[in-house]
Amino acid sequence: MNKIILPTHSAMLKADYIFGVATSSFQIEGERRGRCESIWDRFCEHDGAIKDSSNGDIACEHISRWQQDVELITSLGVDAYRLSISWPRVMNDDGTVNDTGLSFYQKLVDALVAKGLKVFVTLYHWDLPQALEDKGGWLNRETAVAFARYTEVVCKALGDKVYAYTTLNEPFCSAHLGYELGIHAPGLRSQAAGRQAAHHLLLAHGLAMQVLRAHCPNSLHGVVLNFANADPVSTAHCDVEAAKIADDYCNHWYIKPILEGQYPDLLAQLPRDVQPDMLAGDLEIIAAPIDYLGVNYYTRNIYQSDGNGWYEQVEPSAKTLTTMGWEVVPHSFCALLRELHAEYQLPPLYITENGAAFDDKMENGEVLDVQRLAYFQSHLLAVNQAMEQGVDIRGYFAWSLMDNFEWAEGYTQRFGIVHVDYHTQQRTLKASAKAYQTMLLERKSSV
């Protein structure tokens, strides 16, 4: 199969449905000298933190190649591009504005808009300034206030040229992976730190929403959360309960405060010294109305009881896994979307990340990534099915535009629909990109 085919009656083929591609600043930009230090710069210096001992100093050289990349994005026939702003490229460590860094994003957004693309801007995709981490990072309530100030600088500069602003990308990863498990920057390992960081991230989201509403009333404003189904390994009561705990701890911990102004009941069951400190009114700030919710989905997780009233994750047993070790389970994607729709009064959804890493090989100038192509085909059909069952999904973004720095995995994982040769920075459309491009161009010619 070398095509992506949607049902002829699919609402995803209508002109107002938004298809896009997505990236993030630290993963592609490079030009380390043009910004202040971030927590990921520091984390990359830790022995063993990054699988291939690499860093983001060069990455995909997007800062110097952005005009070429805008042409690349446009050539795909997408409606939108989702990018993130580097906080330490826009703000100096003393709190002043880095005009050169801010100007880069102004030029980039202007060029994208001139091409007729809708621009989705993420304000925080994990690259916290190290200067703020030195003061406690997301364990310090003042970081949420600093985020609101940074948000004001960006949204005043970009204004309503931006179609949609996202406050945070995947606060679960920032808090749980960064402060609780220590496998992402800044590398802390503390349950109490993870819960406190999560609360301050959500508070930062709420404070930023106030700023965005004030300065960019004509743009959409929301947040992006990652979800993975929490499935029990067996029907045993203890495993079912463990999966429910994991679901609350990893999924609902983030969406429930935003949409309903409260944490899951699990909060009260945690030891007091693990529960986050919060002030009166925090949850009201966090629960500010959002125009949309971004959903990032890659796979499901399987859990069993740890024998002590908590959960532990079980490695997938499927024969076919991505190179990240993740199952390909499109039916779980549809189930997740249906379950969120049933449980919450959702705003409109955008699938803001969806994709897979495989062992891509360049042969005769081509990358025939048939597994990724099949992944996109099956997951787009899952989105279509969820929409047919009543879920309001307004758009879909493939992750990622191009191969890039994959956090703790370094450059060992390729998620891109565009291949990047890291020695020459040559960009080459993979088979998945060509199939996506063909589907989108055919859609445009038929509406």
Q: Catalytic residues, which ones? A: 170, 353
Q: For 134-222, where are the alpha helices, taking DSSP H only?
A: 141-158, 171-172, 191-215
> Strand pairing of 230-232 and 220-227?
unpaired
∠ CA 263-264-266 to the nearest 5 degrees? 120
Q: Is 298 annotated as a binding residue?
A: yes
By C-alpha distance, which of 417, 394, 407 is closest to 73? 417
Q: Is 404 annotated as a binding residue?
A: no
Radius of gyration of the chain (CA): 21
Q: Is 399 annotated as a binding residue?
A: yes
| Side chain identity at residue 307, one-letter code | G
Q: Give, for 330, the enclosing helix (H) or strand (E).
A: helix 330-343
Enter the tokens of residue 188.
């802390």
Q: Is 343 annotated as a binding residue?
A: no
∠ CA 407-411-414 to the nearest 5 degrees? 95
- 346 vs 124: CA distance, rounded Å: 22
Q: How far is CA 106 from the centre of its chain?
A: 22
CA dihedral 58, 365, 363, 321 (to 10 degrees): 60
Q: Phi and psi for 278 in degrees, rounded to 5?
A: -145, 155
Residue list for the binding site:
27, 125, 169, 298, 399, 406-407
Residue list for the binding site for substrate:
27, 125, 169, 298, 399, 406-407
